[in-house]
């Protein structure tokens, strides 16, 4: 009884060694070799062996310390069958097979010679069965003389088979988990979108590599913080919590565009898709968010919208060009007839009377119609410059003088600073007068009295050419962001009666001269425009050719 008690204690200690190796995360090869080592220490006269069933359904050597190499090679790769020795038969039948004498047992007829050559005479084999009932392999106890197992031997071989099954399943499960983790890690690190996971309190628990690149934080800097640190607006953070990142929301949410903030303080447009992560019972335990930087997409959308707008304007321009060409003669004749009628009625109707007031309104309407007609013709028609070398100051003086009626009763001053500047350059005086007149009209319309319009001129080298740069600045309210962006767009106007063509026409005239007109510095105390005039004409410049 004492010997049996000691053997049981020894077997238990041995099994504990195997379990400890399993808990330490040892490889399957190391664990199975420890199992065979424990078995052979418990039964010194026994030779232990573990065979594993591979994916092709063949038994392969899993662990053996004392079996001869020749024998291992001879039985490696056998297919389980009803008469394939102890192990092949046990794996086939899924039950223990005990062969007391290999030399005489019919189960060994196919492998008998190899076994006897290795001095093996008895073999008891226990199939290693998984929790799902699948065969994983076999655990075998060999002896060098014919031998019948005792009850304790059978218990021992059964316990070794169960221990082997536990080890194999556990290690294979761990390996599968590691492979899945590696695949998941590769996917997470490989996607360009920032992956952020939080607990239900919205505190960050995972901050992927793409998130680090997108936001500029390291994972250590944000783990444990709420995702509010990533939002540009705390209102957006609260709204997303109310609408999406809560335990009663849908499993996944539609893409939502928000403004985000990097560690540097820089903001950017981003698209977020969120999900509530739930366990197998359906209980939520985390939130997952994928954030994509859509800056380039937004730029592309803006460019597309701009291109579409320009296309529409171009189509309208072409249509207007055809229309203006067709009706120019007829409309001007009609306006002349209206003017003749106004002049005749002017002799017959006294001013200050009700009829006189009506006649004055008719005259103003005729002037407005003529102005619109001329604007459309200038914008949509051909540009044929009549250049001559002249002083630019003459053009802006003429423009200012032509606005006497508009300036009547106004406190408006034109301040010039062009002393010592050679203002002589080739230009179409009529077209350039229109450019200055448009600028002056806009300043007078936008600025309350007293109005001051400053004109400065300087000689500069622009794009390798001698040029005159004229700056026109008023003391009005300046240009809004929208005005700065669209001031040269056709049909854009902030004046109640404006056609929206004045600055677009000015741009065409300046480009036709090979020059430029640009908005100056962003100011809140006035609008500023910079006009560049080449000192010499470039007849080959595309801007000088007919444009539609």
Secondary structure (H, E, C), 157-196: HHHHHHHHHHHHHHHHHHHHHHHHHHHHHHHHHHCCCEEE
Cα separation, 14 vs 164, in Å, equals 13
CB-CB contact of 459 with 468 (8 Å):
yes
Q: Could you give the angle at the alpha carbon of 395 between the alpha carbons of 394 and 401, nearest 5°?
A: 85
Confidence of residue 274 (pLDDT cuts 50, 70, 90): confident
User: Which residues of 73-165 form beta strands (DSSP E)?
Assistant: 97-99, 122-129, 135-143
Give, in order, the Cα–Cα distances in Å from 425 to each of 14, 400, 436, 467: 105, 20, 16, 9
Higher pLDDT, 121 or 310: 121
Confidence of residue 379 (pLDDT cuts 50, 70, 90): low
Crossing angle between the packed helical segments 151-190 and 28-42, to the nearest 10 degrees: 170
Cα separation, 84 vs 75, in Å, equals 10
Question: Cβ–Cβ contacts within 10 Å for residue 119, how many?
Answer: 13
Q: Could you give the angle at the alpha carbon of 373 between the alpha carbons of 367 and 378, nearest 5°?
A: 125
Confidence of residue 190 (pLDDT cuts 50, 70, 90): low
- Lay out the sheet containing 256-261: strands in order across: 204-207, 194-198, 284-293, 267-278, 256-261
Cα separation, 232 vs 291, in Å, equals 14
Cα separation, 543 vs 525, in Å, equals 33
Sign of CA dihedral 371, 374, 378, 380: positive
CB-CB contact of 78 with 108 (8 Å):
no
Average of per-residue pLDDT across 167-189: 81
C-alpha 11 chain-centroid distance: 61
Cα separation, 396 vs 394, in Å, equals 6
Q: What DSSP element (H or E) covers 341?
A: helix 295-348
Q: Collapsing DSSP states into helix, strand and coil, what is residue 353?
A: coil
Q: 145 pLDDT exceeds 90?
A: yes
Q: Where do we find the tokens 């420890």?
A: 34
Q: 466 pLDDT exceeds 70?
A: yes
Look at residue 252 in the predicted model and tell me its pLDDT: 60
Average of per-residue pLDDT across 418-432: 92
Look at residue 210 in the predicted model and tell me its pLDDT: 87
Q: Collapsing DSSP states into helix, strand and coil, what is residue 338?
A: helix
Look at residue 87 in the predicted model and tell me its pLDDT: 95
Look at residue 243 in the predicted model and tell me its pLDDT: 83
Q: 1 pLDDT exceeds 60?
A: no
Confidence of residue 113 (pLDDT cuts 50, 70, 90): very high
Q: 503 pLDDT exceeds 90?
A: no
Helices (H), 118-150: none
Look at residue 16 in the predicted model and tell me its pLDDT: 87
Residue 500: CA count within 13 A, CB half-sphere? 10
Q: What is the mean pLDDT of the chain?
A: 86
Residue 501: CA count within 13 A, CB half-sphere? 17
Q: 68 pLDDT exceeds 80?
A: yes
Confidence of residue 543 (pLDDT cuts 50, 70, 90): very low
Cα separation, 547 vs 514, in Å, equals 13
- Closest to 145 (Cα-Cα) out of 96, 178, 100: 100
Q: Collapsing DSSP states into helix, strand and coil, what is residue 427?
A: strand
Confidence of residue 547 (pLDDT cuts 50, 70, 90): very low
Look at residue 541 in the predicted model and tell me its pLDDT: 47
CB-CB contact of 122 with 85 (8 Å):
no
Cβ contacts of 408 within 8 Å, gap of 6 or more: none
Comparing 239-253, 397-411, 428-442, which segment has the lowest mean pLDDT?
Answer: 239-253
The encoded tokens of residue 95 equal 């039950």
CB-CB contact of 427 with 532 (8 Å):
no
Cβ contacts of 325 within 8 Å, gap of 6 or more: 381
Ordered structural domains, the chain, with CATH: 1-178 (3.30.450.40), 192-296 (3.30.450.20), 299-380 (1.10.287.130), 388-534 (3.30.565.10)
CB-CB contact of 159 with 11 (8 Å):
yes
């Amino acid at each position: 009884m004492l010997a049996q008690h000691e053997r049981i204690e020894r077997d238990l200690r041995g099994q504990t060694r195997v379990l400890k190796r399993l808990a330490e995360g040892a490889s399957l090869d190391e664990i199975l070799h420890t199992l065979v080592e424990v078995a052979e220490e418990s039964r010194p006269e026994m030779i232990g062996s573990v065979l594993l069933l591979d994916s092709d359904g063949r038994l392969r050597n899993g662990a053996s310390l004392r079996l001869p190499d020749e024998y291992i090679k001879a039985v490696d790769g056998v297919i389980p069958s009803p008469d394939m020795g102890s192990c092949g038969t046990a794996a086939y039948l899924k039950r223990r097979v005990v062969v007391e004498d290999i030399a005489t047992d019919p189960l060994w007829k196919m492998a008998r010679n190899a076994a006897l050559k290795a001095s093996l005479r008895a073999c008891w084999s226990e199939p290693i069965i998984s929790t799902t009932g699948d065969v994983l392999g076999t655990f075998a106890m060999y002896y060098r003389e014919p031998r019948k197992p005792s009850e304790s031997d059978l218990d021992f071989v059964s316990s070794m088979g169960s221990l082997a099954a536990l080890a194999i399943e556990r290690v294979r499960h761990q390996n599968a988990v590691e492979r899945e983790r590696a695949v998941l890690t590769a996917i997470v690190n490989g996607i360009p979108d920032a992956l952020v996971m939080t607990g239900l309190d919205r505190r960050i628990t995972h901050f992927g590599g793409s998130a680090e690149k997108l936001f500029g934080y390291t994972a250590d800097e944000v783990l444990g913080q709420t995702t509010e640190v990533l939002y540009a607006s705390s209102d957006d953070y609260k709204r997303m919590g109310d609408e999406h990142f809560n335990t009663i929301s849908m499993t996944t949410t539609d893409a939502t565009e928000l403004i985000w903030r990097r560690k540097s303080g820089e903001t950017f447009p981003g698209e977020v898709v969120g999900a509530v992560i739930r366990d197998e019972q359906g209980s939520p335990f985390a939130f997952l968010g994928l954030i994509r930087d859509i800056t380039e997409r937004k730029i592309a959308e803006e460019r597309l919208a701009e291109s579409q707008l320009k296309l529409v304007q171009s189509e309208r321009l072409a249509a207007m060009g055809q229309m203006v060409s067709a009706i120019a003669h007829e409309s001007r004749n009609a306006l002349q007839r209206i003017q003749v009628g106004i002049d005749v009625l002017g002799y017959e109707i006294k001013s200050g009377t009700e009829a006189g007031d009506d006649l004055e309104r008719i005259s103003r309407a005729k002037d407005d119609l003529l102005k619109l007609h001329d604007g459309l013709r200038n914008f949509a028609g051909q540009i044929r410059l009549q250049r001559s070398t002249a002083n630019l100051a003459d053009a802006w003086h003429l423009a200012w003088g032509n606005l006497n009626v508009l300036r009547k009763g106004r406190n408006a001053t034109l301040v010039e600073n062009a002393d010592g500047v050679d203002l002589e350059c080739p230009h179409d005086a009529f077209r350039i007068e229109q450019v200055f007149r448009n600028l002056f009209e806009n300043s007078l319309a936008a600025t309350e009295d007293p109005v001051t319009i400053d004109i400065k001129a300087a000689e500069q080298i622009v794009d390798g050419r001698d040029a005159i740069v004229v700056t026109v600045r008023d003391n009005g309210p300046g240009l809004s962001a929208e005005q700065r962006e669209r001031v040269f767009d056709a049909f854009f106007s902030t004046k109640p009666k404006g056609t929206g063509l004045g600055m677009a026409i000015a741009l065409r005239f300046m480009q036709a001269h090979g020059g430029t007109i640009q908005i100056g510095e962003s100011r809140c105390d006035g609008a500023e425009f910079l006009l560049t005039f080449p000192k010499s004409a470039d007849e080959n410049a595309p801007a000088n050719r007919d444009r539609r």
